[in-house]
Amino acid sequence: MSLPMKSSAASPFGPQAPLQPLLSREQIAGRVRELGEQISRDYAGESVLLIGILKGAAIFLSDLARALSVDATFDFMAVSSYGRGHKSSGLVRLIKDLDESIEGCNVIVVEDILDTGLTLSYLRALLLERRPRNLRIAVLLDKPSRRLTPLEADYIGFSIDDQFVVGYGLDYAEHYRNLPDICILSEAAPDAGPKGH
Ligand code: IMP
Ligand code: MG
């Protein structure tokens, strides 16, 4: 399938969607498989609880879960950060909490992208208060140059430059999440209000 770049007027992404391919679905699938193998080795003989951060991580979580050979359960949280379009402000608000206790669990927080680190720092502190057995972080993408708070993920799909990307769960104003490839969105749209993840 070709990407909707400079696509026809029939495209749901608009006639001039400014998308440049960055990571193909094949590259993503290969790396997700490797992460699944790594996590399965690290938790051999144990169970893991994957906590997906809605909505961006939904696609990554569903592929990562199927790349695991260890027992896995899922739960989800949703947060919103008040930011300006592409930027996080650091004010994170919990919109949906977990369904179950995580006490004593091997928790892996699954997120689409680690950018400033503000969202995951907030979530990490919140979840650690609930006394999991351990807590690790898996992100498909990392933008280390954007970090405002010192936070590293334990499992990282790809480190990328400071570019705004969409696809494979990542959105701009809720669009593009369903692109199978990850693309750079080269033109910024006007700043928006509160953004979901
Ligand atoms: P952080 O708190 O700045 O680390 O923000 C993480 C959240 O910002 C992610 O979960 C995404 O929702 C969003 N985000 C950061 N960078 C991008 C990007 O390049 N594309 C799409 N969303 C992004
Ligand atoms: Mg997100």
Using a CB cutoff of 5 Å, list residues around ligand 2, an ion.
56, 112, 197
* Ligand 1 residue neighbourhood (C-beta within 6 Å): 56, 88, 111-120, 164-166, 170, 197
Please report the sign of the dihedral spanned by the C-alpha atoms of residue 51, residue 53, residue 55, residue 56.
Answer: negative
Question: Residues 22-66: pLDDT tens digits?
Answer: 999 999 999 999 999 999 999 999 999 999 999 999 999 999 999
The residues annotated as belonging to the active site are: 115
Identify the CATH assignment for 24-163 out of 3.40.190.10, 3.40.50.170, 3.10.105.10, 3.40.50.2020. Answer: 3.40.50.2020
Question: Residues 122-174: pLDDT tens digits?
Answer: 999 999 999 999 999 999 999 999 999 999 999 999 999 999 999 999 999 99
pTM listed for this prediction: 0.88
